[in-house]
């Protein structure tokens, strides 16, 4: 019985598998965002052109439109990257449990470190008025969620006794205001690392809120005998203040 000849090996497809293509596209898209956010922070959003973004990536300007429709969309996506990092931190903290003070300290530390990154700094360095109205609304809502989280941790700490009584709103404003400024003044060439800065800010911004734990210790000191003649000399005369024994 004749057998059919084996089928010739199929020629390799010139196209990458779908998952590989999507991953490659995501990586290229993120590369555009990283180049853009650096330029926006260095020169200011309005001074940067798409040609400069393309030049930094060594591609053509039309190639950028494969990933983004315009500069304002790139700006929003840079901002969104920073917001997603904060959301991830909050989700992790909520899942971990702990007192209100413990959660607050974790958030302060993580937020401080994020402010020393490009995408983190974009949360405070970019003007939301440069975004399309819909995107600006999304950004404002995200800012409110972050503020509400600070307040919630502080209020929880007051309730569980780990934070002394205070106004959660004002305390949250003070903490977030200090942290946000890291995004303005931090420089990579500085002496302190992001972690060192976060360590310091965590202490400075939360120790004043921590409820004081006072240990009731009784210090025992030897007492002189209280006999009838304990305050007299052997002669029976009372000591006076200027006498020495």
pLDDT surpasses 70 at 229: no
Give a yes or no: residue 6 inside a domain. no
The whole domain housing 89 covers: 78-206
Q: pLDDT confidence of 219, banded at 50, 70, 90?
A: very low
CATH number, position 84: 1.10.357.10
CB-count exposure of residue 40 (10 Å: 0-12, 13-18, 19+): buried
Cα–Cα dist 164/2, whole Å: 91
pLDDT surpasses 50 at 223: no
Give a yes or no: residue 37 inside a domain. no
Pair of tokens at residue 32: 């555009």
Please state the domain count of the chain. Answer: 1
In degrees, to the nearest 5, what angle opens at C-alpha 122 toward C-alphas 70 and 39? 60
| Residue pLDDT, tens place only, 151-198 | 999 999 999 999 999 999 999 999 999 999 999 999 988 889 999 999
Residue 194 has a CB neighbour count (10 Å cut-off) of 18
Average pLDDT in the 98-106 region? Answer: 96
pTM of the model: 0.75
| Residue pLDDT, tens place only, 19-78 | 554 556 688 999 999 999 999 999 999 999 999 999 999 999 999 999 999 999 999 999
Cα–Cα dist 4/85, whole Å: 59
Cα–Cα dist 155/194, whole Å: 28
Give a yes or no: residue 184 inside a domain. yes
Give a yes or no: residue 181 inside a domain. yes
Print burial letters for 1-31: b (CB count within 10 Å at least 16), e (below 16).
Answer: eeeeeeeeeeeeeeeeeeeeeeeeeeeeeee
In degrees, to the nearest 5, what angle opens at C-alpha 104 toward C-alphas 186 and 194? 20
Give a yes or no: residue 32 inside a domain. no
Give a yes or no: residue 228 inside a domain. no
Give a yes or no: residue 8 inside a domain. no
Give a yes or no: residue 67 inside a domain. no
């Amino acid at each position: 019985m004749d057998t059919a000849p084996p089928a010739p090996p199929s020629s390799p497809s010139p196209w990458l598998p779908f998952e590989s293509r999507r991953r490659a596209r995501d990586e290229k898209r993120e590369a555009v965002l990283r180049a853009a956010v650096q330029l926006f922070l260095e020169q200011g959003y309005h001074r940067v052109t798409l040609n400069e973004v393309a030049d930094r990536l060594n591609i053509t300007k039309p190639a950028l439109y494969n990933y983004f429709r315009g500069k304002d969309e790139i700006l929003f996506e840079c901002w969104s990257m920073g917001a997603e990092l904060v959301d991830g931190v909050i989700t992790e903290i909520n899942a971990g449990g702990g007192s209100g003070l413990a959660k607050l300290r974790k958030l302060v530390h993580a937020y401080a470190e994020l402010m020393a990154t490009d995408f983190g700094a974009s949360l405070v360095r970019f003007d939301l008025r440069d975004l399309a109205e819909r995107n600006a609304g999304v950004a404002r809502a995200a800012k409110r969620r972050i503020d509400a989280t600070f307040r919630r941790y502080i209020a929880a700490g007051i309730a569980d006794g780990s934070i002394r009584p205070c106004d959660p709103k004002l305390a949250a404003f003070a903490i977030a205001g200090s942290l946000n400024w890291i995004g303005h003044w931090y420089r990579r060439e500085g002496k302190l690392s992001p972690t060192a800065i976060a360590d310091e800010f965590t202490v400075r911004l939360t120790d004043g809120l921590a409820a004081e734990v006072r240990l009731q210790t009784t210090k025992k000191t030897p007492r002189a005998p209280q006999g009838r003649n304990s305050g007299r000399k052997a002669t029976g005369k009372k000591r006076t203040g200027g006498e020495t024994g």
